[in-house]
């Protein structure tokens, strides 16, 4: 019985963690992609 409750709580916590971290992951992708593309264009100009 307690194990089932613990499993449900774990699933809820996992879902909340996913929702909370999504905006931060999106921002990291945006800024990471921007810096990478900037570096690539800089390399292309040198060559």
| pLDDT (0 to 100) of residue 10 | 98
Tokens of 26: 């999106």
* HSE (side-chain half, CA atoms, 13 Å) at 27: 5
pTM, two decimal places: 0.53
| pLDDT (0 to 100) of residue 32 | 86
Q: What is the DSSP string of 2-30?
A: HHHHHHHHHHHHHHHHHHHHHHHHHHHHH
The per-residue pLDDT for range 1-47, each reduced to its tens digit, is 999 999 999 999 999 999 999 999 999 999 887 665 555 555 555 55
| pLDDT (0 to 100) of residue 47 | 56
**C-alpha Rg value of the chain to the nearest Å:** 20
| pLDDT (0 to 100) of residue 5 | 96
Tokens of 6: 């613990």
Give the rounded distance of the alpha carbon of 25 from its chain centre.
Answer: 3
């Amino acid at each position: 019985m307690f194990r089932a409750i613990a499993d449900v709580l774990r699933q809820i916590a996992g879902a909340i963690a996913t929702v909370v971290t999504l905006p931060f992951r999106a921002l990291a992708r945006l800024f990471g992609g921007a810096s990478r593309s900037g570096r690539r264009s800089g390399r292309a100009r040198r060559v």
